[in-house]
């Protein structure tokens, strides 16, 4: 085996005129040529991970370079998937918001494992423009499917894509329509654990932007948990996920609540950061004067003092699950479950 391996390398490197083939790789790897074809072409669903790794390692060491164009023509695929997200989020660049950038990291990593590259496609406010853009990308085989994040409730894009048989998976959109494959964060259990630590207090919940499905799902989970627990009072306050919003809610909450066994649960850590800012400016001590919790476990949660109690979203798991589901759909395999729920984690720190 070692002699064959060295001989093949020499033959290729000296340019004797015999191009390295998949049969050559099969001889060295000790597998069939068809196994090599599956391992190197992205058709990995029928092979063990160990076999794929072994074949790819042998091919790399032999200097094999697949013809990407031939692979695309043979399979009628581009081996590109699109990560479609809003062009901007409340006047901020989309990827300045960690929700979208965290999911992107895992989308790219999982796509790479499955032999795909990722194209970022900005979504505009006009739904019709988005439909036309994505239809053209799919019709021209520029992309094979879409992972879509950040849609507002009632957006007509999923229905249009479904009707045109364009593969897609939604992230963070709790659609009641089971025709639309989706991956979501399941906040219920983590929220129940957080609120159990606040039982007996005056509870304030500052919700996020209710134009988004995940904000509505979070609010509903809070209301369900509150019904099972006992609080002196419970108030829901409007928010929109921004630090400015968190600061503004502190203006209305803190003067009445400080020093009175109150707990403030904000829908994300950015709003919690704004709430902290107000407390610092007004010499209100957390958690001595008022207890605080956020959600998401963003980087902001790690730099606030005292350390912020929060709920960690499985964003990496969400992105990876979305790509796995999408590549199954592209390959013609119906997913076992069209609605995947990733459990959140309650992270208790010094602020509660």
In this predicted structure, the answer to whether residue 59 has a pLDDT above a threshold of 60 is yes
**pLDDT for position 332:** 84
Most confident of 146-155, 281-290, 300-309: 281-290
Q: Closest by alpha carbon to 246, among 269, 221, 223? A: 269
Alpha carbon 255 to its chain's center: 38
Q: What is the largest CA-CA distance in the chain?
A: 85
Q: Find the range with the poorest average confidence among 38-47, 64-73, 145-154.
A: 64-73
SS3 346: strand
E strands of the chain, at which residues? 80-86, 88-89, 92-93, 117-123, 145-149, 168-171, 182-186, 202-206, 233-237, 262-266, 291-293, 310-312, 339-343, 345-347
Question: Stretch 234-260: mean pLDDT, rounded?
Answer: 95
Question: Stretch 285-312: mean pLDDT, rounded?
Answer: 93
Question: Stretch 55-66: mean pLDDT, rounded?
Answer: 80
**pLDDT for position 66:** 62
- Could you give the domains of the chain? 2-66 (1.10.260.40), 80-184+316-343 (3.40.50.2300), 188-312 (3.40.50.2300)
Residues 91-109 pLDDT 10s: 567 777 888 999 999 999 9
In this predicted structure, the answer to whether residue 44 has a pLDDT above a threshold of 60 is no
Q: Name the average pLDDT for the chain.
A: 86
**pLDDT for position 285:** 97
Question: Stretch 182-186: mean pLDDT, rounded?
Answer: 91
Beta strands 88-89 and 168-171 are unpaired
Question: Stretch 56-75: mean pLDDT, rounded?
Answer: 68
- The pair of structure tokens assigned to 22 is 């998949």
Tell me the whole-structure pTM to 2 decimals. 0.76
Residues 133-174 pLDDT 10s: 888 888 888 899 999 999 888 888 999 999 988 999 999 887
| Residue with the larger pLDDT of the pair 115 and 16 | 115
Confidence of residue 43 (pLDDT cuts 50, 70, 90): low
Residue 12, phi then psi, degrees to nearest 5: -70, -45
**pLDDT for position 62:** 84
Question: Stretch 219-241: mean pLDDT, rounded?
Answer: 96
CB 310 within 8 A of CB 296: yes
Question: Stretch 334-343: mean pLDDT, rounded?
Answer: 83
**pLDDT for position 324:** 93
| Cα–Cα distance measured from residue 302 to residue 135, given in angstroms and rounded to the nearest whole number | 41
Burial of 281 (0-12, 13-18, 19+ CB in 10 A): exposed
In this predicted structure, the answer to whether residue 339 has a pLDDT above a threshold of 90 is no
Confidence of residue 72 (pLDDT cuts 50, 70, 90): low
């Amino acid at each position: 085996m070692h002699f064959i391996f060295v001989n093949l390398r020499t033959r290729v490197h000296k340019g004797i005129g015999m191009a390295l083939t998949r049969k050559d790789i099969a001889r060295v790897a000790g597998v069939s040529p068809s196994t090599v074809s599956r391992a190197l072409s992205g058709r990995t669903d029928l092979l063990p991970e160990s076999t794929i790794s072994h074949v790819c390692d042998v091919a790399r060491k032999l200097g094999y370079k697949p013809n990407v164009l031939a692979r695309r023509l043979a399979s009628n695929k581009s081996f590109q998937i699109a990560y479609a997200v809003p062009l901007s989020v409340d006047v901020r660049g989309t990827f300045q918001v960690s929700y979208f950038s965290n999911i992107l990291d895992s989308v790219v990593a999982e796509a790479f494992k499955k032999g795909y590259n990722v194209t970022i496609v900005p979504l505009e406010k006009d739904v019709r423009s988005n439909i036309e853009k994505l239809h053209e990308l799919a019709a021209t085989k520029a992309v094979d499917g879409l992972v879509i994040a950040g849609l507002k409730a009632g957006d007509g894009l999923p229905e249009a894509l479904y009707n045109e048989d364009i593969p897609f998976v939604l992230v963070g959109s709790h659609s009641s329509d089971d025709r639309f494959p989706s991956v979501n964060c399941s906040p219920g259990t983590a929220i129940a654990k957080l609120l159990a630590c606040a039982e007996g207090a005056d509870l304030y919940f500052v919700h996020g932007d209710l134009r988004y499905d995940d904000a509505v799902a979070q609010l509903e989970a809070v209301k369900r948990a509150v019904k099972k627990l006992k609080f002196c009072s419970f108030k829901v306050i409007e928010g929109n996920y921004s630090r400015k919003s968190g600061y503004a809610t502190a203006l209305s909450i803190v003067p009445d609540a400080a020093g009175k066994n109150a707990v403030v649960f904000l829908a994300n850590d950015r709003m919690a950061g704004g709430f902290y800012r107000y407390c610092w400016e007004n010499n209100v001590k957390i958690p001595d004067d008022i207890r605080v919790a956020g959600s998401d476990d963003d980087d902001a949660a790690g730099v606030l003092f005292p350390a912020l109690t929060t709920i960690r979203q499985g964003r990496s798991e969400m992105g990876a699950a979305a790509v796995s589901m999408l590549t199954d759909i592209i390959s013609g395999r119906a997913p076992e479950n069209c609605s995947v729920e990733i459990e959140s984690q309650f992270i208790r720190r010094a602020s509660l």
